[in-house]
């Protein structure tokens, strides 16, 4: 029986912090061009602030730090961050695994702003590997994870039952809880910002792995009959 492998993008296929850094660089360049602020200085300020307090209102605070705060300018920084063409790439270990799995139908299901997520898909060249990349927000907000909507579209397209489809994701809050009751199989990769999240059983994946390089073995555990 055919098996289908579906991936989450952020913090599963690559480290989302790489995107954040890329966005900060774009904002730093803009502030340098407009106001002559040294790029490495504003970049470092944002990075330190991120470590201490997370992402919320970071551009507001940055502009206040330089005495430049205006609501419109803060909005401009957000849009530069969101719309910039990110300089991110897939880590080698991800590329190796995707190549190793090239005989399976591969898909991507990712949540998030349509333009931002599409820019990431392009920068990571994911269409090279995936049969199709589903950006859930394109189907309406109500079809974002944990909704099983896009996963059901994949099942329909591939004409397989959910038990022959596996989703690999990193966020137990939403990656698995909506699809498990339908019979989809699930693998959690213990990387990124959700690595320490401990949630009740219904949110957890069938299998946990530490690194993406462990994926082929995990797939064999799930489906002993397959050849990877």
- Which residues here bind Mg ion, judged by CB under 5 A? 8, 10-11, 170-171
| Closer residue to Mg ion, CB minimum distance, 70 or 114 | 114
CB of 140 to Mg ion, least distance (A): 20
Nearest Cα to 112, choosing from 171, 39, 188?
171
| Closer residue to Mg ion, CB minimum distance, 14 or 59 | 14
CB of 169 to Mg ion, least distance (A): 6
Dihedral pair phi/psi, residue 124, rounded to 5°: -85, -5
Q: Residue ranges of the alpha helices (H) in the chain? A: 16-35, 39-53, 58-65, 71-83, 92-100, 114-123, 149-158, 215-222
| Closer residue to Mg ion, CB minimum distance, 91 or 226 | 91
CB of 103 to Mg ion, least distance (A): 25
CA 67 to chain CA centroid, Å, is 34
Extract the tokens encoding 119: 């820019």
CB of 11 to Mg ion, least distance (A): 4
Are residues 134 and 144 in contact, defined by beta-carbon separation less than 8 angstroms? Answer: no
| Closer residue to Mg ion, CB minimum distance, 43 or 176 | 176
């Amino acid at each position: 029986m055919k098996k289908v492998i579906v991936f989450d993008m952020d913090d599963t296929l690559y480290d989302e912090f790489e995107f954040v850094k890329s966005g900060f660089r774009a904002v730093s360049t803009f502030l340098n061009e407009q106001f002559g602020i040294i790029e490495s200085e504003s970049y470092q300020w944002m990075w330190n602030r991120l470590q201490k307090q997370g992402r919320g209102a970071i551009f507001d605070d940055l502009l206040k730090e330089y005495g430049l705060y205006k609501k419109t300018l803060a909005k401009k920084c957000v849009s530069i961050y969101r719309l910039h063409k990110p300089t991110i790439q897939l880590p080698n270990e991800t590329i190796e695994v995707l190549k190793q799995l090239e005989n399976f139908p591969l898909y991507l299901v990712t949540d998030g702003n349509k333009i931002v997520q599409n820019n990431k898909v392009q920068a990571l060249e994911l269409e090279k590997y995936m049969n199709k990349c589903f950006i859930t927000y394109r189907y309406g907000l109500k079809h974002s994870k944990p909704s099983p909507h896009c996963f059901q579209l994949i099942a329909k397209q591939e004409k397989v039952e959910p038990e022959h489809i596996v989703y690999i994701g990193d966020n137990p809050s939403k990656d698995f809880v909506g699809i498990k009751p339908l019979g989809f199989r699930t693998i959690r990769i213990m990387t990124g910002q959700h690595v320490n999240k401990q949630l009740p059983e219904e949110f957890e994946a069938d299998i946990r792995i530490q690194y993406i390089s462990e994926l082929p073995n995990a797939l064999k555990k799930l489906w002993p009959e397959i050849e990877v």
